[in-house]
């Protein structure tokens, strides 16, 4: 993909996802993720309906009429996007590749954060951390993140969620809003996740294809393992083979759901041919209650 094509794709994603963040997610994001507290803003004259507990008695005594203190939420939050760029993300059978859906969701979240004047950072990972972009504010920074999501070529095709979470804990000292976007075809990360979830507001967003869960009956077919590069013949007409494939998918999904739940983190599951908009909105509304 040349530079012109990349910029065109960035612009296309910007138009689609910014519209979502402006009209749908901006307010929901703000109400779901609170700031660090309330900070003093100004003093103004008392108005009917104001809480008497907010009266500034020193100013009131000076001017012989009631004045109240006004506080506003101190936002200044940081969002970190942990994005899986392993080989299995370049898979899709019905709508688009998983990596395309992940890019759109990440862009929507980033623009929602920017709209609320929050910082956004990016960690791209495979079985190691491939790229780290420190959190910053602004539209140009978000566009750089989208560009990396589109054109980045990882060195490895394997997955190690534990390594990504360890890196997150080492580089972010203050509490942050963290979204981890992956198909979560990995396990053995519970201990590290618990540590990260205690420190940060963590949500796992699982993006998957329908054939990640079930393999169709197509007879004897060559199957490529996207993370190892190996190809082997698989007899998909065998019921035991299909059942084994499905059982492994269910095992990984249960591990993802239960591990995040036990760690106190949130989860979203969205298939590439489903509306991730509804899934995100539902999650934000529930979280903001």
Q: What is the pLDDT of residue 277?
A: 86
pLDDT at site 38: 54
Per-residue pLDDT, 261: 96
Same domain, 130 and 143: yes
Instruction: Output the pLDDT for position 225.
Output: 75
pLDDT for 7 equals 67
Shared-domain flag, residues 24 and 54: no
Based on the fold, state whether residues 59 and 107 are members of the same structural domain.
no
114-164 pLDDT per residue, tens: 888 889 999 999 999 999 999 999 889 999 999 999 899 999 999 999 999
Instruction: Determine the pLDDT at residue 45.
Output: 87
Residues of the chain with pLDDT under 50: none
Q: Count Cβ atoms within 10 A of the Cβ of residue 166 and give its class: 0-12 exposed, 13-18 middle, 19 or more buried.
A: middle
Q: 271 in helix, strand or coil?
A: strand
**Structure confidence by residue, pLDDT tens digits, 191-205:** 999 999 999 999 999
Residue 267, SS3 per DSSP: strand
Distance CA 63, CA 82 (A): 54
The number of residues in the chain equals 289
What's the confidence (pLDDT) of residue 106? 93
State whether 94 and 149 are in the same domain: yes
Residue range of the domain that includes 63: 37-74
Q: What's the Cα-to-Cα distance from 132 to each of 60, 81, 111, 239, rounded to whole Å? A: 52, 10, 19, 44
d(CA 60, CA 51): 14
Position 41 scores a pLDDT of: 56
CB 10 within 8 A of CB 49: no
pLDDT (0 to 100) of residue 163: 96
| Domain containing residue 17: CATH number | 3.40.50.410
Q: Distance between alpha carbon 263 and the CA centroid of its chain, in Å?
A: 17
Q: What is the pLDDT of residue 288?
A: 65
- How many structural domains comprise the chain? 2
Residue 105: per-residue pLDDT? 92
Q: What is the pTM of this model?
A: 0.79
Residue 165 and residue 189: Cα distance in Å, rounded? 8
Look at residue 80 in the predicted model and tell me its pLDDT: 96
Q: What pLDDT sits at residue 206?
A: 97
Residue where a domain stops, chosen among 23, 47, 74: 74
């Amino acid at each position: 993909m040349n530079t012109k094509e990349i910029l065109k794709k960035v612009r296309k994603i910007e138009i689609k996802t910014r519209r979502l963040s402006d009209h749908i997610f901006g307010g929901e994001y703000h109400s779901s993720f609170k700031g660090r507290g309330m900070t003093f803003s100004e003093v103004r004259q008392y108005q009917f309906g104001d809480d008497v507990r907010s009266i500034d008695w020193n100013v009131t005594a000076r001017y012989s009429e009631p004045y109240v203190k006004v506080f506003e939420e101190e936002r200044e939050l940081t969002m970190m996007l942990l994005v899986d760029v392993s080989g299995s993300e370049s898979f899709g059978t019905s709508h688009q590749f998983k990596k395309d859906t992940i890019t759109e969701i990440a862009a929507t979240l980033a623009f929602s954060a920017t709209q609320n004047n929050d910082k956004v950072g990016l960690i791209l990972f495979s079985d190691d951390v491939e790229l780290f972009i420190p959190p910053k504010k602004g539209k140009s920074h978000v566009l750089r993140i989208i560009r990396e999501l589109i054109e980045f070529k990882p060195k490895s095709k394997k997955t190690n969620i534990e390594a990504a979470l360890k890196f997150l804990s080492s580089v972010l000292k203050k509490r942050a809003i963290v979204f981890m976007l992956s198909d979560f075809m990995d396990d053995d990360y519970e201990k590290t996740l618990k540590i990260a979830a205690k420190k940060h507001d963590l949500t796992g967003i699982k993006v998957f294809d329908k054939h990640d869960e079930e393999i169709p009956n197509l007879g004897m077919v060559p199957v490529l393992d996207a993370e190892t590069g190996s190809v082997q013949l698989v007899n998909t007409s065998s019921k035991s083979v299909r059942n084994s494939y499905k059982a492994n998918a269910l095992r990984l999904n249960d591990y993802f759901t239960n591990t995040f739940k036990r760690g106190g983190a949130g989860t979203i599951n969205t298939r590439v041919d489903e509306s991730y908009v509804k899934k995100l909105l539902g999650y934000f509304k529930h979280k903001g209650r």
